[in-house]
Amino acid sequence: MPGRGTLFLDEIGELPLELQVKLLRAIEARQVRPLGSNKPRDLDVRVIAATHRRLDRCVTEGTFRSDLYYRLAVLKIRVPALRHRREDILPLARHLLAKLRPERAPSDVLSDTVCAALTAYDWPGNVRELRNVVERLAVVGELDTRVREQSRPPEAYHQAREEAIERRWPPRAHPPARDRRR
């Protein structure tokens, strides 16, 4: 059967009411009609929805359809913010780094200083923000000696990146432009 798998709906609480109607219809009928097609396509999907909003309150306020809410609210799993799960920060960072740079050990980039800074930060952007910081780490490389304990690691990483770029400039393969003119 085409259309099998898992459908992940991120930030479902942001979906406008007019699209909620269409989503509910697709979930209940287990069919969708692709753009430009005249015939519907069958779906056999498991739906997982995520949001930072309290959908039960949105239903009360009239910004989320109650029928869609009850269709989606089969099993609710509340995941606390990353700042309330500090023990998860380093394992997540190591996992993300290993996916980005499988050829290098996470310990090459995550020094004790970096780990302390990551753990101390409150992560208002949760795992998405952590992922962005880890991506910066993967691009810049070793920051052990450049990152100092600060309350906001992203700024420390930005500073370390700038310092790393300055150390690599000018590129060794080509002399600066003014030297080539001579």
Q: Where are the domains of the chain?
A: 4-72, 82-168
Distance of CA 132 to the CA centre of its chain: 7
Helix (H) or strand (E) holding 95: helix 89-100
pTM for the model:
0.60
Q: Which residue has the higher pLDDT, 52 or 164?
A: 52
pLDDT score, position 171? 47
What's the pLDDT at 180? 46
Rounded Cα gap, residues 96 and 135, in angstroms? 8
102-135 tens-digit pLDDT: 776 666 667 777 888 888 888 888 898 999 888 8
Q: What is the pLDDT of residues 30-46, one digit of tens each?
A: 998 888 999 999 989 99
Equal CATH topology for 4-72 and 82-168: no
Q: Which of 98-112, 134-148, 152-166 has the highest mean pLDDT?
A: 98-112
**pLDDT attached to residue 150:** 40
**Radius of gyration in angstroms for the set of CA atoms belonging to the chain, rounded to a whole number:** 24
Domain 4-72 listed as CATH 3.40.640.10: no
Looking at domain 82-168, its CATH architecture is: Orthogonal Bundle (1.10)
Question: Given a cut of 80, is residue 1 above it in pLDDT?
Answer: no
What does the pLDDT average to over 157-172? 54
Smallest Cα–Cα separation from 126: which of 70, 97, 85?
A: 85
Confidence at residue 149, expressed as pLDDT on a 0 to 100 scale: 41
User: Residues 70-98, buried b or exposed e (16+ Cβ, 10 A)?
Assistant: eebeeeeeeeeebeeeeeebbebbbebbe
pLDDT of 29 reads 93
